[in-house]
Amino acid sequence: MRSTGISYYHLSFRPAVRVTLRPLGIIRVADEVEAPRRAIRVLQQGGLVAYPTDTVYGLGCDSTNAAAVRRIFEIKRRPLDDPLPILIADMTQLRELVETIPAVAVLLMQRFWPGALTLIFRRGRRAPPVVSGGRETVAVRLPNHPIPRSLIRGSGRPIVGTSANIHGEPGPATAQQVIFGLGDRVDLLLDGGRTPLSRESTVVDLTQDPPRVVREGAIPRGQVEEALR
């Protein structure tokens, strides 16, 4: 349940070439472990929510809502064939998204999950193709932060977990950076203060043999390679 300490406010943007004003709702959740019900409703209704994670701020929607997913691609100016990662709240959701869970994945998950490691698997039949950019793979992470896990549990669906920024720009570590980058194109922003790691996740491709670190992020490459030995 939401505590009485949560505050809610709006910001309005006045672009020079647009006269229609759209308020951006912002909810402070710095000390919360449960996501506000309003944020869960936004996700269930096909909206976009920016939220804090253990790495950087994420931009999320119901990963099964194709229209919402396409809107994230558009807002981020991200190529449609560049897959979006999915965040989960538990291992049951992982098994529904992937074709198989190889033994090496179990080793990495035991070491780094929940946490700042994104794993690329062979996509299962239940994984939304639009999220995967038409590829036969899916990128999944179990975050070490209560807000995204609560959003997932409350909405009943895994959510998109891409960084809340324009494609190619640094991942935002604060709500203010989200606002500067995306403005009022987000339906709701959960302001949780500065993210703990303030760096994007490390990504490992498990569909290759041997697995390969394709992006070094908050977890150093050496730690991942050590775990793979």
Using a cut of 0.85, tell me whether the model's pTM lies above it. Answer: yes
Q: What is the pLDDT of residues 38-60, one digit of tens each?
A: 999 999 999 999 999 999 999 99
Per-residue model confidence (pLDDT) at position 21: 57
**DSSP-assigned letters across all residues of 9-57:** EEEE---TT-----EEEEEE-TT-SS--HHHHHHHHTT--EEE--SSS-
What CATH homologous superfamily does 8-228 map to?
Answer: DHBP synthase (3.90.870.10)
C-alpha 138/C-alpha 206 separation (Å) is 10
The per-residue pLDDT string of the chain (229 residues; one tens digit each, 9 = 90 and over) reads 444 455 555 555 555 445 455 789 999 998 888 999 999 999 999 999 999 999 999 999 999 999 999 999 999 999 999 999 999 999 999 999 999 999 999 999 999 999 999 999 999 999 999 999 989 999 999 999 999 999 999 999 999 999 999 999 999 999 999 999 999 999 999 999 999 999 999 999 999 999 999 999 999 999 999 999 8
Q: What is the pLDDT of residues 78-118, one digit of tens each?
A: 999 999 999 999 999 999 999 999 999 999 999 999 999 99
Per-residue model confidence (pLDDT) at position 9: 56
Q: Which residues face 94 on adjacent strands?
A: none
Per domain, the residue ranges of the chain are: 8-228
Phi-psi region of 200 (alpha: psi -120 to 50; beta: other; left: phi over 0): beta
Task: Give kind and range of the element (H or E) at residue 66.
Answer: helix 66-76
